[in-house]
Amino acid sequence: MKNLVKPTLAAFVSLFFPKLCPGCMNPLFGKEKVICFDCQMSLPQTDHLWDFENVLWKRMNQLLKVERAVALLEFQKQSRVESLLYQLKYKGQQEIGSFLGNWLVPQLKQSNVFGGVDVVLPLPLHPKRLKQRGYNQVQLFSESLSKHLQIPLVDDLVYRKKRTRQLAKMRGTDRFVEVEEAFAVRQDGHYPPRHWQLVDDVITTGATISSCGNAILEACGGRISIVSLASRLS
């Protein structure tokens, strides 16, 4: 009898309080997990996996010398992608990062776009913002990258020494000023030059990730590649 209680209770809760898809905010049904099938089919994927000299790569190379630059999804205002990233970043739905990683990262492996990368580096949050939010929104996505590509993940090499204001409300030029010298590499160890893969959730102007990348190159040398869940520069 006890074995029947939990499934029955779960079905009751699901019926009256269904879990919503973070992309379209419609109820999830049946085998739908995290994101509904309709959103999965309609999310706009970029061609970055197959076009190594894509728009994002060209833009980033104006700010930072990068080997590869890939965003998996195209970002637009008031879109399902924006809703997904908002729920991931501000509403505690960390499973979105893991889901997108497990779904899309195998395509990265197939394209071999990041062949030769040595280390996966999630873009760090400032300690106060990390404490406030409770998690880094790119951590689980980075872990998926590390797992599928079989590349070590290092999340304590670089840190955010400057607590920047919310960039989403700033103009492009102001963003670059705000994140100037916002990152630093820890000085308590020796880090030989590597091919570093920086991971972010969304790239709009490229200000934040280029600031981080330049700090790493200045302190450690090596090469930089970039992967992001989404980008406007696509």
For the chain, the domains span 1-42, 43-231
Residue 88 sits at φ, ψ, to 5 deg, of: -65, -45
The secondary structure element, H or E, covering residue 42 is helix 37-42
DSSP 74-108: E--TTSHHHHHHHHHHHS--THHHHHHHHHHHHHH
pLDDT at 234: 62
Q: Dump pLDDT digits (tens) for 13-65.
A: 455 568 999 999 999 998 898 999 999 999 999 999 989 899 999 999 999 99
Q: What is the pTM of this model?
A: 0.88
Q: What pLDDT, in 10s, does the model give residues 57-67?
A: 999 999 999 99
* pLDDT tens track for 206-229: 999 999 999 999 999 999 999 999
pLDDT of res. 17: 62
Instruction: Evaluate whether 97 touches 138 at the Cβ level (below 8 Å).
Output: yes
User: Where does the pLDDT of residue 107 fall: very low under 50, low under 70, confident under 90, or very high at 90 and above?
Assistant: confident
Residue 103's pLDDT is what? Answer: 86
Q: Which residue has the tokens 């990068």?
A: 66
| pLDDT of residue 11 exceeding 50 | no
CATH number, domain 43-231, options 3.40.50, 3.30.60, 1.10.760, 3.30.465: 3.40.50
The whole-angstrom separation of Cα 199 and Cα 143 is 10
